[in-house]
A and B are shown apart, each in its own frame.
Chain A
């Protein structure tokens, strides 16, 4: 079973700061997912990536397959970015079942 760990658990930053959230996993994977959960509770998929880097607006996700590590970056952070960010990896290589990290609670202060 893939073990997925995120850090930090909680992160508070000032508006405009560059944010980095880290995710490490123990088993080789085909793709890793980053998800966002807003205070209202809904979960939205941000990225699915299997190599390199992906960018969507101010969000950037990177993955290093060899080191079993992924990062989510937010540039020019804004209070509306406040949410819980969750990474998830397949339980085993090629498996559709996901193992989730416990999430990083991000708070951006105006």
Chain B
């Protein structure tokens, strides 16, 4: 199916564990983004990628790692999960030109 998909949709993990959230898009969009959404805050950028093998930090990158070996995939890894990383995570993609962004359905992550 065409679109942008995230997996898993829900995840509960323990403090200190490594967790990877997956994001896959079928449009070959250049840009991909990871955001977290918390009460009282707007969506905040964790990391973004302008193309395969090009990634850069966003507003709140600490504790997260990304990679982009293929254009269509942009996984987000929490190296050692902490309770403060409990959040809803959204992946998004957009083309290089002035176009709208497309969002995945989100992953609700709970760190206990």
Question: Footprint of B on A, CB under 8 Å?
Answer: 4, 30-31, 33, 35, 41-45, 47-48, 50, 86, 88, 96-103
Question: Is B40 in contact with A102, judged by CB distance below 8 angstroms?
Answer: yes
Question: Is A48 in contact with B98, judged by CB distance below 8 angstroms?
Answer: yes
How many residue pairs link A and B with beta carbons under 8 A? The number is 54
Question: Is B99 in contact with A48, judged by CB distance below 8 angstroms?
Answer: yes
Kindly list chain B residues whose C-beta atoms are within 8 Å of the C-beta of A45: 100-103
Known: A41-B105, A45-B101. A100 touches B42 (CB 8 A): yes
Question: Footprint of A on B, CB under 8 Å?
Answer: 31, 33, 35, 40-45, 48, 50, 58, 88, 90, 92, 94, 96, 98-103, 105-106, 108
Question: Is A4 in contact with B42, judged by CB distance below 8 angstroms?
Answer: yes
Question: Is A30 in contact with B98, judged by CB distance below 8 angstroms?
Answer: yes
Q: Complex: how many Å from CA A33 to CA B45?
A: 16
Kindly list chain A residues whose C-beta atoms are within 8 Å of the C-beta of B94: 96
Question: Is B101 in contact with A98, judged by CB distance below 8 angstroms?
Answer: yes
